[in-house]
Structure 1
């Protein structure tokens, strides 16, 4: 993928879509987002879906297309789809989403792997046109013959295949060097290594939630960034690689096990080698003004990149100075969705700045 420097793996949520929309044109041109279709919601009382997948994906193509700007190419993955909840009248979700996006002129690269379900692999083959992404786990890498057989079954040229070696949430601080060796071996031993359009390494080390983080400021090491730098600059790779991560979230999708979840007023902000977490208390009890206080502390922090660095950073500056207003002219301090957007927008911009330097 010519000129592509970064593949952010993002959930298919409105906040992430807007984060992409608000990126600068220069940043948009250097990324290819990998969007994961989210599972449908489940009723806590009946333990049944609250809607069909067709309803869940209503206008998905338009919503995402409207936010892509210069980024008219994405990877789309149905990894999180729960096939047991697909209704009889549903179009298979990833097929539905690909079709919608292509109607709006978006270049969609379907994502698959040899170890996906037989149903998934069969259906994904029907929407592969001129390119595909193989998102490989350690299980895929351990069976190179299966990988070769699957690639042959796709009937697509290797120069149109993007490979992502995804360690997901496996990284720990004391196992980085082990994963460096695994990644180098996994990359160098890929069948037909030099022929793929791109090879990337992905991982995510942000915690599942903030329950173990105390109120205040805490630094979460970006282990995936440390891993990539070591792999990139060790000099042991036989070809170049692209960086990929899960932005400011945990790789897995987790349903909150309660009907009325308690959410803390917290902000995530990507620094050079860590993600800063400014953690507050439940905003419904202790006030949304906590977000404003976090922003005031953040703009004084050495990791703050300045108000002109990204739209997310501009928003942080405005919230810190009480200059974000509702339609009623009242001061607003945002919501969890707003701060997810702000954090993702800054993170993507930060990664591109780091890779560019």
Structure 2
């Protein structure tokens, strides 16, 4: 009797194991990136897909792909993902292995993404870069997005102009970003300093730039580092945050904790509802905003044209808007309503 029970139990375990193996195989197939119709599949690889900038961009891409009859596979990873570059390069290689119709990617780092993108192009898969670009235009079909140098210049010029109007012609300046090695951040910082110096003129020599803070999109990190800079530099007059929720929140929290709200000017990049919390007490002075939804639309529209053999421009710029603090709330309402209307 005991042996019979053992056989029954053993059989049950074996059947259960087979069932689990079957389930695992099915999930592995699903997660392996296999596509049903490669000729009608596009890969969309943003740096992240959450937040007030990336989420509308993904939405614009998804709506446009569906409208044009293509399946869109979105591949990304969380902001603090370990080995993020390698993971996203793996998404490009996955797309090439699946022989998809086209790839849109935001390269996190220029040199690391150059060869995988060229490999895709060599496999006759058109690649469009967006938000950030490669160094050589020949290595991809087109770039869609903001000219980040020009956007940085716009922010720098406007900030310098307003600072002069307030009588601020000397002091210490600092920048907070997600990742100092990202092409986007490099371009924005370059343009920011150029625009600031051009508008400030002879007084530009009276300012000192501190070491740029990098927080990997972790607000606690930027908060702590900025608090340190504020404590060590009593003449800190302006801080620039170059995009994403980590720097946005971190800067505003540091200004509040150090009792510097409204005393240290803060210029940001991209609209987010987070700014509403800092309008009344002066923790945000003004922002430069990109049309994220429009970038998503233009990326897919142009990628489909390239897939279908049409000639497209090598560079498709998306303009930015300069928005002062007292205009931010109304601007956000209008921006959100436009996105809602486009998806209906």
Bigger relative contact order, structure 1 or 2 (CA pairs below 8 A, ≥6 apart): 2
Normalised TM-score (structure 1): 0.27
TM-score calculated relative to the size of structure 2: 0.28
Q: Which has the higher helix share?
A: 2
